[in-house]
Structure 1
């Protein structure tokens, strides 16, 4: 059996799939298989993959398009490796990615999921600075960014299989975060390696640049309705409803000052206690929540939903609630 099952979901991926596949097939000193999960591509994606002619590549094609999440979920029943590694069809793996991550999981038996830094290329360049340790990674779940790069991760297949974990199709683009949150609730520990072992291609056709804002918010509302009370045990249902304003990007009308006041009260309530069961870094968790509040306040101020007088009043209310 292979040590690693590398999972690459594809759909009309002809522009980049050969470069992606070549980057994985160049890995050394690790026994692996590559699972191509094709969601009924209508271009020549499968012809390009077949032309590679490598017996380590296994192709599974949907006859009809099932959607990104349903396509990715097939991997859990098809993978044979001890570890599962994710890679998107437009990204590239460093030549030592699989070797470094397998060595880490082999020697850190308490870690369930290991990612790495990522190097952006294409329309943008840059390098991530994700936290390396479990507590800070989990804390970043609150803001929903800079925790793990999903195309960079490797995780233990037996953990996923023993708990029958799958991506939730109701979470739209937040399905990965929902999956990691489910892992957290079941005792998973996380880590990131300091090196950039995945190159993340920025291009106009990528999913994250072509989002449906309403579906995104609906997915976040579903996810954070579970996550917030798990992390912040003092929150009431009323508090959680107001905290959802932190995850909404677009508003049809200016927000009422009363609603914003309730939001600030809810943040203050959350900051009073972090549930210790999940191993979150307490200070990082608090900083992420306050940073998210400040980010939204800046956006609302820029949109003229708040003026200086309103901000001062909200600040007084917030610090009074923290006492």
Structure 2
């Protein structure tokens, strides 16, 4: 059997959705362009940014970059999926427009996926950086421990449902290389919203393939005030509502999947927690009547939860006092 260049150097599609982050975008593209693994296409999908980033694209003068600009904002998820659907590579990797890769990210992960046809994905650990690109070493260690990658065995994981959906060890959106043909990108519903990466992990986990953990930190995830993760953990009501709605949808799918019944109680608990979060978000958005059913649902179907109980009481508290007390609820 002859060995072709394609088998040795399969095409990798690097997916970079972007919106209104020109300086970060330039750094993200640079980290893709400078990969030591060269057989790549870089797909930049712009969600109708206020300023067209085409000059940034052209400044690289790199034929491997494919640029698409939507004439109107189609939403974060649609922009992300548009880029995935454009991918022609055997493998795909998502690179957020505010994150960066080490230059050997692909060089270290591609050979692993190529050598084992039973793998659907390979993932690495990551650094946490601030808005200026400086590594937050304390935050990095906390991130690694928080997602249990510090105790996760390197190598192949045949059943990775627990590490993917419970421990959330797999950073699908930032530090992961995926076998493209396994995923039907049209099967990811709009309702997953900002939880698309967890839903993608779900699709990979039920695919019948295995996952591989490469324990080195090969990417740089930027934690700053513009990220939805930061916003949803703050007092930003809209971000909290978006996140909770996505979680309710995803965890309902997970707990109804007969293949995942081992973890049904966990998914049910997270589903109820998301009802409380949505209720709190709606209260902060002064949608009192809309908030109450979600809080009632949560309090009826779970053991006494102080967070839910307080939120429900505030739903019947005069607005001036309720607004003051809402600040203590996350």
Same fold (TM over 0.5): yes
Tell me the equivalent position of 1:134: 157
User: Per the alignment, in what secondary structure is the counterpart of residue 59 of structure 1?
Assistant: strand
Aligned length, in residue pairs: 269
Task: Provide closer, same or farther for how the CA distance between residues 234 and 205 of structure 1 changes in structure 2, counting only shifts above 3 A.
Answer: closer
Q: Structure 1 67/172 Cα, relative in aligned 2: closer, same or farther at 3 Å? A: same
Give the CA RMSD over aligned residues.
3.4
> Cα distance, 1:26 vs. partner?
0.9
* Equivalent of 1:48 in 48, 53, 56: 56
Q: Is the 1:17–1:89 contact (alpha carbons within 8 Å) kept by the matching residues of 2? A: yes
Report the alpha carbon displacement of residue 28 of structure 1 after superposing the two structures with TM: 1.3
Give 1:38 shift. Answer: 0.9
Deviation at 1:159, TM superposition (A): 1.3
Q: Aligned runs of 1:1-323 on 2, under 5 Å?
A: 3-122=11-130, 124=136, 125-127=139-141, 128-129=143-144, 130=149, 131=152, 132=154, 134=157, 137-143=160-166, 145-160=168-183, 163=184, 165-211=186-232, 212-230=239-257, 231-232=260-261, 244-250=271-277, 262-263=301-302
Q: Is the 8 A contact 2:13 2:43 kept in 1?
A: yes
Q: 1:107 to 1:213 in 2, by over 3 A?
A: same
Q: Following the alignment from structure 1 to structure 2, what is the Cα–Cα distance between the partners of residues 27 and 242?
A: 42
TM-score (norm: length of structure 2): 0.70
Structure 2: how far apart are the matches of 1:185 and 1:73? 20
**TM-superposed deviation, 1:122:** 0.6
Distance 2:301 2:73 in 1: 43
CA–CA separation in structure 2 for the residues paired with 1:148 and 1:191: 12
Q: TM-score, normalised by structure 1?
A: 0.71
Distance apart, 1:180 and its partner CA? 2.1
* Secondary structure class of the residue paired with 1:244: helix
With over 3 angstroms needed to count, the CA separation of the structure-2 counterparts of 1:234 and 1:196, relative to structure 1, is closer
SS at match of 1:210: helix
Q: Secondary structure at the match of 1:51?
A: helix
Ranges in structure 2 where 5+ consecutive residues have no aligned partner: 1-5, 233-238, 281-291, 314-330
